A and B are shown apart, each in its own frame.
Chain A
Amino acid sequence: MNFDLTEEQKMIRKLMRDFSEGEVAPGADERDRTKTFPVEIFRKMADLNLMGLPFPEEYGGGGADTTSFAIAVEELSRVCASAGITYSAHVSLGCAPLYLFGTEKQKKQYLTPLCQGESMGAFGLTEAGAGSDAGGTRTTATRDSEGWLINGSKCFITNASYAKFLALTAVTNRTEAGPEITAFIADTDSPGFRVIDNYTKLGLHSSNTTELVLENVRVPEDAILGEIGQGFKQFLITLDGGRIGIGAMAVGIAQGAYELALKYAKERTQFGTSLSKFQVIQHKLADMAMNIELARTMVYKAAWLKDQGKKFTKEASMCKLFASEIAMKVCDQAVQIHGGYGYMHDYKVERFFRDVKLTEIGEGTSEIQRMVIAREIGC
Chain B
Amino acid sequence: MNILVCLKQTFDTEERIAIEDGQISEEGVEFVVNPYDEYAVEEAIRLRDEHGGEVTVITIGPERAEQALRTAMAMGADKGIIVDDEDLESPDENSIAKILASVIGDLEYDIILGGYMAVDDGSAQVGPRLAELLEIPHIATITKLTIDGDRVEVEKDVEGDIEYIESKLPILVTAQQGLNEPRYPSLPGIMKAKKKPLERMDIDDLDIDEDELEGRTETLETYLPPAKEAGKILEGDLDVQAKELVKLLRSEAKVI
Contact = CB atoms under 8 A, between A and B. Distances in A.
B190 to A, nearest CB: 5
B71 A14 contact: yes
Contacts of A63: 191
Contact of B71 (A11, A47, A62): A11
Nearest to B188: A49
B194 A8 contact: yes
B32 interface: yes
B191 A64 contact: yes
A149 interface: no
B184 A15 contact: yes
Interface in B179-197: 184-188, 190-191, 193-194
A53 interface: yes
B194 A12 contact: no
B8 interface: no
A50 interface: yes
A48 B186 contact: yes
B32 to A, nearest CB: 7
Q: How large is the interface on B (under 10, 10 to 19, 20 to 34, 35 or more residues)?
A: 10 to 19
Contacts of B191: 8, 62-64
Contacts of B70: 7, 11
A48 B70 CA distance: 17
A92 B186 CA distance: 21
Interface string A1-36: 000000110111011001100100000000000000
Interface residues of A, number: 19
Contacts of B194: 7-8
Contacts of A49: 186-188
B169 to A, nearest CB: 32
Contact of B193 (A11, A57, A64): A11
A11 B193 CA distance: 10
A57 B32 CA distance: 28
Given A11-B193, A64-B191, A19 B71 contact: no
A24 to B, nearest CB: 12
Contacts of A8: 190-191, 193-194
Interface of B: 32, 67, 70-71, 74, 184-188, 190-191, 193-194
10 contacts: A8-B190, A10-B67, A11-B70, A11-B193, A14-B71, A15-B187, A15-B190, A48-B186, A48-B187, A53-B187
